Structures are given as C-alpha cells and as structure tokens.
Amino acid sequence: MKGERKHQRSESRGPDGDTPARKAIKLSDHRQEQKDEDELMTAADIYFEEGGLQRIHPYFFKFATHAKGRWVGRTILEVFRSEFRDRPPGYYEPAIAQGIIEINNERVGPSTVVRNGDLVTHFIHRHEPPVTTQPLTIVQETDSGLLIVDKPGSIPVHPSGRYNYNSVVKILEKKHGYRALHPINRLDRLTSGLMLVGLNANVARRMENDLSSHRIQKEYICKVKGVFPTGRIICDQPIRVIAHKLSLNCVDPNEGKPSLTEFELLSVDDDQMHSVVYCRPKTGRTHQIRVHLQFLGYPIANDPLYCNTEVWGDNLGKNGELPLALPPLSELPTPTDTSAAETPAAPSPPPPAPTEEAKPPAGKDKKVNKMAGTTSASLLTDESRATWGPLVSRMENWKTKQELAILVDVPTDADAPRKCDKCSDPFMPDPTPDQLYIWLHAWRYSGPGWSYETKLPAWASGATEHIDRVKYQKESA
C-alpha cells in the first residue's frame, strides 16, 4: 500500500520526483540497454531448429511503454485486463502484487490509477512462437543499397507482439549481418513473397515515394475458394480498418478509403474446389487483396480471418453483406486438467516473482520493448458500433476460443515438461503446417528500369505456364 499511496499523491511528478520528460529519458535508456545487449547476442545464442520448426531459446524480457491516452484515469488492473490478450484475466492482480508489473519502476497496488507520462513495465520470461524452417532468401542486393528478399509465410516483418527474434528484421540482422534496415513494403505475417528492404534511409525514402506515387507495380498470386470467373475482374470497393489490434478490415462504401485491385484467373484445380488467381493491387490498403476477394465471393481458401464461417456466416461476407444474425459461436473449450491450463473462470496464477537466481542481473539477459494491447468493440465510434460492433465481438470471441483451445492442447506427454521451470507458463503446442501461411504470395515488383520476382510457391505450381502469359501481357501493356 505504501507504494500505491506514494504513486497516487504524485500529479505532475512520479514517485521519485521525475517529471514526464525525465520518464521519457528512462524509456529511452531501456531501449538503449536493449540495443546494447541485443548486439552481443549471436544467431547461435538465439535460434535452433527442432521438430521441423525454427525456435528461439526462451529469455527474460521487460516490456515497457508510456501510458496510452486511453489508459489515463483507469486503474492499472483494469488496463491490463481489458487491453492485453496474452494472459488470462486472473493473472494480472497477483502479478501486480508481486512486482512483475510496475509503474515508474516501483511496485503499485491493483487500484493504482494510471497517469499521463507513467512508464508501465511488465517483466516476463519470453517464449516466442516457432516459425517455418524455410529460409529467408536473399534474392539480390544492389549497389545503391536495396535488398530484395523472399519471405516465407509465418514470419512477421517487424518485432511485434509475441515475435521478436523470429522476425524478418531480426533474422536479417542476426543470420545475415545486416544493420539499420528499412523495410519498404510490409507483408502480413502469413503472406509469403518478395520484400524490398532499404539498407539506408535515402533508398528507403525514394522507394517509398515511388510506391505512394504508383510508380511501382505489385503482382501477387493467390489460391481462392471456388471457380474464379475468367477475364479481367476489377474490384474498386473502398476499404476501412474496423479494429486495428484484431487486424480486421472491411469494405465500407461510406467510410472506406479508395481501393482498386485487378484479378485474373490463372488455373482451376482438378477438383474444381480452388482457383489460382493473379492479383494486381493498384492501391495499398491493409489486407486489400484479401478483403476484395472476400467481397467478390472468392476468399483466399485458407485465410483464417476472411474465410471464417464462424464469424462471417455461410455467405462469408460476399458483396459486403453481413447476416442479420450469426449463429452463436461454439462453446469455449474447457480444459479437463486444470494443472495444464485454466479457463477464464479459474485462471492460472502468474509465475512466482522472479528470484535473484531466476531474475537476470541488471544489464544482462534483459530485453525491453513496447507492450502490445488489444482492441474491443467498445473502441469503435458511436456511428460505427451499430454496424461493426457485433462483427468485432464475434471476431474477438473466436480468437479467444482459439487461444483457449491451444491451452487445452498443451503437451501431456509424460516425457515432456508441461510448464516452464522458470515461469510456470504451459508450453504451447506447435502450429501445424497449414497454420504457418496463407495462399497469398507477393510474386513480382517492378519499377522504373527494374523488376524482381520470386519462384512460385508449391501450391501455385499448376499456374506456371499461365503466369508467363499474364506477365507478358502486363509488360506489354
């Protein structure tokens, strides 16, 4: 309680007398410490392969961020329970009490109110999800400082959320020796294909200007559900972001941004269930190809977000239509053995407060990064809530169900430990091969005087002879 009272007395200054400007310096100190320690880590220290997946050795990590505007005036317990999805709700109160979650580097109580400028930290033993062992391939490096790479599905571009070292930027740094990278086009984690990366700020700025002014042509390949129509199909429906943290985007004629994508059929599978389609986005909205294909009624067949009947209904959002009433989602799974995982009604406690032996010494084996939160329907505007609120809620419920299903499926093999001996977190099951990517591939990028392309992925091999025809037409246009 002492720490809590001390914090609550503080208005413009923190508990140690620091002003918000001083706190900002502290956060920059955290980030500099992270950078210094990260440079000492080698690829051999970080990566290993096992069970057909690239894995990361677990490590201690401190998430740190200044209080967001929407946090101010709310208790620290309320903020963590409502904003963060990676732990069950019952985790946070004991974590606050044990000092695993702090404000301005001091212990506080769960009813402590977050104030403007507060530095919020969360100390964890970090377990990154595994990714594919398919290598990140260097296609070419130009004399001007442009790096062209072929990214496999399952790997995010930037460190974000649960991913840090298993990201394109970190893999290029640790495995290939590059520094000061500037990704130019940003592919979704589950999307594979060509990426342009600037090795200096000038090249990155020039290429980004070319992208924004449409001087760079982008060509993608995908596999969709159903038999796609022949001829050139154009979708110009406007797209808007519905929920940032859910990565949910939809066609919205009223509030969407102008968007245009050209499509052309390449081949149809023998079973008539799927089609391989050429895509040429003329604008660069988030999830543009995925959203436009869903609107046309031919979503990418293995897309967990836009080809999901539990959320969108049997019509899958075709023509932007949402059913008046979706059937209720299946019941959330309940673990049969609560020693492995807990349901929200009986959440697992946080790990014990790190001991001096478990907690890394100051300045060693400790990483710092921004914390990632979540979005709920309550963050929509009043005008949008009536239309999109139910969809956002259903998407949240579906994601929660997937997370609980993972907890239910934690290893039960007697020879495999079920929980980490350092943090008591249950070991999560590995992703299946079909969960590592979607059938969307950035195949070719072209600009003034240059063009780069990748090989077609195995799932699109049937379209090889047709892609040359389409490519020739585009070059001759």
| pLDDT given for residue 380 in this prediction | 53
pLDDT of residue 394: 83
pLDDT value, residue 428: 82
CA 311, 299, 327 angle in degrees (round to 5)?
Answer: 20
CB 157 within 8 A of CB 143: no
Q: What CA–CA distance (Å, rounded) separates 346 from 353?
A: 20
Active site residues: 188
CA pair distance 169, 155, nearest whole angstrom: 10
Q: What separation in angstroms does the CA of 464 have from each of 209, 265, 281? A: 32, 12, 20
Q: Which residues of the chain have pLDDT under 70?
A: 1-36, 323-385, 405-418, 472-477
Query: In sequence order, what are the residues at sequence separation of 6 or more whose Cβ sits closer than 8 angstroms to the Cβ of residue 90?
Result: 342, 344, 346, 347, 348, 349
pLDDT digits (tens, 9 = 90+) for 53-106: 999 999 988 889 999 999 999 999 999 998 887 777 788 999 999 999 999 999
Sign of the Cα pseudo-torsion (30, 246, 297, 154, in order): positive
For residue 75, give the 3-state DSSP assignment.
strand
**Helix H or strand E segment including 193:** strand 192-198
